Amino acid sequence: MFKIFVVPFFYLVSLVPFFILYPISNVFSFILYYLIGYRKQVVFDNLRKSFPDRSDSEIRKISRQFYIHFVDVIFETIKLMTISDKSFKNRCHFNEEALHTFESFFKKNQSLVGIMGHCGNWEWAAIAHQFYFKRLITGVYHPLSNKSFDEFMLQLRGRKGGHIIPMSLVYKELLTLREQQLDTTLGLIADQAPPPESAYWTRFMNQDSGFFCGPEKIAKKFDFPVLYLGVKKIKRGYYEMRVKVLTEHPNTTQAGEITQLYVNELEKDLREQPFNWLWSHRRWKHKKPA
- Tens-digit pLDDT profile for residues 81-112: 999 999 999 999 999 999 999 999 999 999 99
Q: Assign 275 a pLDDT band (cuts: 50, 70, 90).
A: very high
pLDDT tens, residue by residue, 147-204: 998 899 988 998 888 889 999 999 999 999 999 999 999 999 999 999 999 999 999 9
d(CA 92, CA 85): 10
Q: Assign 1 a pLDDT band (cuts: 50, 70, 90).
A: confident
Partners of residue 188 on adjacent β-strands: 115
Does residue 286 lie in a domain region?
no
Does residue 106 lie in a domain region?
yes
**SS3 label, residue 192:** coil
Q: Assign 235 a pLDDT band (cuts: 50, 70, 90).
A: very high
Does residue 162 lie in a domain region?
yes
Tally of domains in the chain = 1
Does residue 281 lie in a domain region?
no
Predicted structure pTM score: 0.95
Q: Using the 8-state DSSP alphabet, how is residue 277 labeled?
A: B
Does residue 54 lie in a domain region?
yes
Q: Comparing C-alpha atoms, which of 28, 33, 36 is closest to residue 66?
A: 33
Does residue 289 lie in a domain region?
no
Q: Assign 145 a pLDDT band (cuts: 50, 70, 90).
A: confident
d(CA 59, CA 42): 12
Does residue 279 lie in a domain region?
no
Residue-level pLDDT at 3: 84
Residue 155's domain comprises: 2-272
Does residue 17 lie in a domain region?
yes
Residues 249-255 have a mean pLDDT of 97
d(CA 267, CA 96): 23
Burial (0-12, 13-18, 19+ Cβ within 10 Å), 97? exposed
